[in-house]
Chain A
């Protein structure tokens, strides 16, 4: 199982890009990197996932380093509604989501 490390908290100004890093140096070869977020008191929401290539969808972009030891989730134009806890998880890790990164988007 990949052990992931994320900063405890980050701030971002509304309208700017939010770049959330995640270290997963122990990730296995076929293990996907998933990103979820949780807005206060709601269930986690799927954002994006990837294996080796960079991925983009309507919510975000995922940049995975070539050695797959780390990745960055990019919210291109953060809004106040993006304030949430963001979790990076290796797909073999069903045991725990960890503490994630609390992203605070300010006006």
Chain B
């Protein structure tokens, strides 16, 4: 059974540009969550999608957005990149809301560097 796949693994962008990251969840999983990880702030929740609908949202500016397709694959987009957006972006998939007695499986992440 294939795991969670995130692409690309590494990315370098310039301030002001936008970026799109992709996450393919485990087959059959309908929930996809996104996290940002930085050395100073740790793992912080961005948003969660379930069956193409955003179900939960963290405390991030509107420059961060996402969507989920009918095949459960998800993308997140960051517009007008800032240096502080440099981070490891992680995607997690689960069969349902992982908070209710089911585990989440994480991808290896996309390392974004903004210069």
A46 touches B104 (CB 8 A): yes
With both beta carbons as reference points, the residue of chain A lying nearest to B108 in the complex is identified as A43
**Chain B residues bordering chain A, tally (CB within 8 A):** 26
Picked from B42, B105, B107, the residue with its CB within 8 Å of the CB of A98 is B42
> Scoring A residues 26 to 44 as 1 if CB is less than 8 Å from chain B, else 0, what string do you get?
0000011010000001111
Prevailing SS type, chain A contact patch: loop
Residues of chain A with a CB closer than 8 A to B59's CB? 95
A77 at the interface (CB under 8 A from B): no
Instruction: Name 16 extra pairs, CB < 8 A, besides A45-B106, A49-B101.
Output: A32-B99, A42-B109, A43-B4, A43-B92, A43-B107, A43-B108, A44-B92, A44-B106, A46-B103, A46-B104, A94-B48, A96-B42, A96-B44, A97-B35, A97-B43, A99-B42
Interface positions of A (Cβ within 8 A of B): 31-32, 34, 41-46, 49, 51, 87, 91-92, 94-100
